[in-house]
């Protein structure tokens, strides 16, 4: 039974006479129970007609108290005074009529056939999920028609000493969800909830009434501003804002109340699905001196085949069936630099994954797949993390330390005693102007960095191994050769000879993330 009251009779008559559909009638009667909208169109219509045909003083066969069922949401109540009378008009409506307010959204589109059509469209996209959230996009002109109908009803109830607040009216979007989401969830075998990583979007358009909003641009021009990302200035938010500003009198002069009946119903757009991103973290080692971290493209031309991010991301994209990815890491090494030790922390954001749930065994197998795909890299500690956890990789990045091993050449002949003083230098402060080699992608600035400690291994009179522990973000190559004086002091200054770096390895990146996973 519908939760209708005696005071709803004149509103029901008024709306049915205006050609409104039965679910819009329930909305304007502030019926806030889910189950009412799930009933068939014909069942609702029969009960409404029976209700308004009853004598005003006859025993109420419906829920006169207006109380909601325990499992239904709180009813949006209509404020109303005593003294209402029934309309003498007889409503005339057939099932083929298109509602002038919802433009058909709450009619045929609430039938099981449309719910199955939506479900079939979702199934074709082959997502794996156990819950979903349903989002609905409606034409902006529905807000204009809703406002028009509200003013139409308001005029009637005002004459009968009643008051109907616009905020009390159930929204078209809510009524539609209540009517169809249970059917869609049943078809898909998934719970329809308020928050879910999987979003199913249903949209409607109605070209016949697109000009309904245009008068608002003249009456409230400040509400409609062109934006880069919107094809039309008549967005729903802009229309709602204009309707809040326009007076009832001015609105009525430009737009009919009630709204005119359309010749066509809304058209349903393609059903789309979107899954929130999944984040994968781990650490990688790079063993090649001919492999860039990211694709190396100069002037639109790719210079090297493959990259660290592509070798890691390819198996992930395939397994998660994602549309794309974003790769980030704690710093980056040059193409000719190896990353050894415990590896460099990284995170991959997988965009719109069609499969999102993997157990530990499956993730371990995925790690092995990556490691077997190439001998140039190796991944460890692979795991699924949340978005917030990835920020830990960047937090306090410049306060972290990194350890390097470099093969150094000196122009001047040296012996082991020439290197001893380097081991005594602690927390050396250096100033590094943006290196020439990265000036095309980094802003010009002078960065203060620390060389925490150094140690050496003598090799021959022109070569030695330099081990450094430095503040993260230090340009090691430039510290060695000086970059034409752009790094001060540098190793050349300290040793009073020209020097250059022949090979460089990252030995450790001292960030305690992601958590280590035992083998």
Largest CA distance in the chain: 114
Tokens 């003498």 label which residue? 88
The span from the CA of 510 to the CA of 506, in Å, is 11
Q: Pairing state of beta strands 337-351 and 499-509?
A: parallel
The span from the CA of 48 to the CA of 44, in Å, is 6
Closest CA to 338 of 96, 483, 503: 503
- 356, 197 Cβ separation under 8 angstroms: yes
DSSP-based helix, strand, coil % in the chain, nearest 5: 35, 25, 40
Q: SS3 letters for 163-197?
A: CCCHHHCCCHHHHHHHHHHHHHHHHHCCEECCCCC
Element at 252 (helix H, strand E): helix 248-254
φ/ψ of 320, rounded to 5, equals -85, -5
- 52, 25 Cβ separation under 8 angstroms: no
The span from the CA of 28 to the CA of 262, in Å, is 20
Decide if 334 is catalytic: yes
The span from the CA of 217 to the CA of 223, in Å, is 7
The span from the CA of 387 to the CA of 351, in Å, is 12
Could you say which of 334, 336, 493, 500 is catalytic? Answer: 334
The span from the CA of 199 to the CA of 381, in Å, is 30
Closest CA to 248 of 150, 329, 343: 150
Chain center to CA of 239? 24
- Measured N-to-C along each axis, helices 41-53 and 9-17 cross at an angle, to the nearest 10 degrees, of 120
Looking at the annotation, which residues are catalytic? 334
């Amino acid at each position: 039974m519908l939760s209708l009251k005696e005071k709803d009779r004149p509103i029901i008559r008024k709306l049915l006479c205006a050609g409104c559909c039965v679910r819009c009638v329930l909305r304007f009667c502030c019926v806030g129970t889910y189950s009412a909208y799930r009933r068939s169109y014909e069942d609702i219509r029969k009960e409404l007609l029976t209700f308004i045909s009853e004598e005003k003083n006859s025993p109420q066969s419906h829920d006169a108290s207006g109380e909601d069922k325990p499992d239904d949401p709180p009813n949006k109540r209509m404020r109303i005074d005593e003294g209402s009378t029934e309309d003498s008009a007889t409503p005339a409506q057939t099932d083929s009529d298109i509602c002038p307010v919802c433009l058909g959204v709450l009619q045929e589109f609430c039938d099981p056939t449309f719910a199955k059509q939506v479900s079939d469209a979702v199934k074709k996209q082959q997502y794996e999920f156990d819950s979903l959230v349903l989002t609905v996009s409606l034409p902006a002109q529905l807000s204009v028609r809703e406002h028009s109908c509200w003013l139409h009803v308001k005029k009637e109830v005002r004459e009968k000493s009643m008051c109907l607040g616009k905020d009390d009216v159930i929204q078209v979007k809510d009524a539609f969800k209540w009517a169809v989401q249970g059917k869609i969830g049943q078809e898909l075998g998934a719970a329809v909830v308020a928050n879910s990583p999987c979003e199913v979007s249903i949209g409607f358009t109605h070209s016949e009434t697109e000009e309904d909003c245009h008068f608002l641009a003249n009456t409230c021009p400040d509400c409609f501003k062109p934006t880069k990302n919107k094809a039309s200035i008549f967005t729903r938010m802009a229309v709602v804002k204009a309707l809040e500003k326009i007076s009832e009198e001015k609105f009525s002069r430009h737009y009919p109340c009630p709204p005119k009946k359309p010749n066509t119903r809304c058209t349903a757009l393609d059903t789309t699905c979107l899954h929130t991103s999944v984040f994968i973290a781990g650490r990688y080692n790079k063993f090649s001196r001919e492999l860039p971290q990211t694709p190396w493209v100069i002037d639109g031309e790719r210079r090297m085949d493959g990259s660290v991010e592509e070798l890691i991301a390819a198996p992930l994209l395939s397994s998660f069936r994602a549309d794309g990815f974003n790769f980030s890491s704690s710093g980056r090494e040059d193409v000719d630099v190896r990353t050894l030790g415990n590896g460099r922390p990284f995170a991959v954001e997988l965009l719109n994954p069609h499969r999102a749930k993997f157990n530990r065994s499956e993730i371990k197998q995925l790690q092995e797949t990556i490691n077997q795909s190439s001998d140039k890299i190796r991944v460890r500690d692979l795991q699924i993390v949340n978005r917030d956890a990835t920020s830990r990789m960047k937090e306090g990045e410049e306060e972290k330390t990194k350890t390097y091993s470099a093969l150094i050449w000196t122009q001047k002949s040296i012996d082991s005693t020439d290197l001893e003083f380097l081991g005594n230098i602690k927390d050396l402060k250096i100033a590094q102007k943006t290196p020439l080699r990265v000036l095309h992608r980094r802003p010009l600035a002078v960065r203060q960095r620390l060389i925490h400690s150094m140690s050496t291994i003598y090799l021959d009179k022109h070569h030695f191994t330099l081990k450094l522990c430095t503040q993260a973000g230090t340009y090691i190559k430039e510290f060695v050769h000086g970059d034409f004086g752009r790094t001060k002091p540098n190793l050349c200054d300290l040793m009073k000879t020209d020097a250059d770096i022949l090979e460089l390895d990252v030995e450790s990146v001292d960030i305690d993330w992601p958590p280590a996973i035992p083998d």
